[in-house]
Structure 1
Amino acid sequence: MSRILAIGDIHGGLRALVQLMERAEITPEDRLIFLGDYVDGWSDSANVVSYLIELAKQNTCIFLRGNHDDLTHRWLKSGELNDKWLQHGGQSSIDAYRQFSDKQKEEHITFFEQMLNYYIDKENRLFVHAGFSNLKGPEQEYTPTPLYWDRTLWEMVLSIDPNLKKGDTKYPKRLELFEEIYIGHTPVTRIGKTKPFHSANVWNIDTGAAFKGKISLIDVNSKEVIQSDPVWELYPEEEGRN
Structure 2
Amino acid sequence: MPGRLLALGDIHGYPAPLDALVEAAQIGPDDTLVTLGDYVDRGPNSRRVIDRLIALESRCRLVALRGNHDLMFTEALNILDEDSTRFAEFWNEPLLRIWAQCGGFDTIESYGSLEEVPPEHRAFLDRLVNWHETDNLLFMHANYDPLLPMASQPSDLLYWTSLHHSVPDRHHSGKTAIVGHSSQKDGEVLDLGHVICIDTYCYGGGWLTLMDLHSGQLWQADRRGQLRTVPAT
Superposition TM-score tier, normalisation by shorter sequence:
0.7 to 0.9
1:239 matched residue in structure 2:
none
2:84 matched residue in structure 1:
none
Distance in 2, matches of 1:36 and 1:224, equals 21
CA contact (8 A) 2:147 2:171 kept: no
2:123 matched residue in structure 1:
110
Letter in 2 for 1:182: I
Distance in 2, matches of 1:154 and 1:217, equals 24
What SS class does the counterpart of residue 21 from structure 2 fall into? helix
Q: Determine if the alignment matches structure 1 residue 199 to structure 2 residue 192.
A: yes
Distance in 2, matches of 1:156 and 1:99, equals 38
CA contact (8 A) 2:18 2:225 kept: no
The 4+ residue runs of structure 1 with deviation greater than 6 A are: none
What SS class does the counterpart of residue 210 from structure 1 fall into? coil
2:34 matched residue in structure 1:
33
1:220 matched residue in structure 2:
213
Q: Normalising to structure 1: TM-score of the pair?
A: 0.80
CA contact (8 A) 2:184 2:200 kept: yes
2:180 matched residue in structure 1:
184
Distance in 2, matches of 1:92 and 1:63, equals 21
Larger % of helix: which? 1
Letter in 2 for 1:217: L
Distance in 2, matches of 1:152 and 1:202, equals 9
1:65 matched residue in structure 2:
66
Q: Determine if the alignment matches structure 1 residue 17 to structure 2 residue 30.
A: no
Structure 2 residues not aligned, in runs of 5+? 81-86, 91-95, 227-233
Q: What is the total number of aligned residue pairs between the two structures?
A: 212
1:149 matched residue in structure 2:
160
Distance in 2, matches of 1:154 and 1:176, equals 21
1:33-112, aligned counterparts within 5 Å? 33-79=34-80, 82-98=96-112, 102=116, 105-112=118-125
1:154 and 1:138, CA in 2 relative to 1: closer, same or farther beyond 3 A? Answer: farther
Displacement of 1:99: 7.0
Displacement of 1:100: 8.2
2:132 matched residue in structure 1:
119
Displacement of 1:177: 2.3
Distance in 1, matches of 2:167 and 2:59, equals 38
CA contact (8 A) 1:196 1:225 kept: no
CA contact (8 A) 2:37 2:65 kept: yes
215-224 vs 91-100, greater mean Cα deviation: 91-100
1:154 and 1:7, CA in 2 relative to 1: closer, same or farther beyond 3 A? Answer: farther
CA contact (8 A) 2:148 2:172 kept: no
2:93 matched residue in structure 1:
none
Distance in 2, matches of 1:23 and 1:30, equals 14
Q: Normalising to structure 2: TM-score of the pair?
A: 0.83
CA RMSD of aligned residues (A): 2.2
Distance in 1, matches of 2:200 and 2:193, equals 18
CA contact (8 A) 2:147 2:172 kept: no
1:97 and 1:117, CA in 2 relative to 1: closer, same or farther beyond 3 A? Answer: same
Letter in 2 for 1:127: F
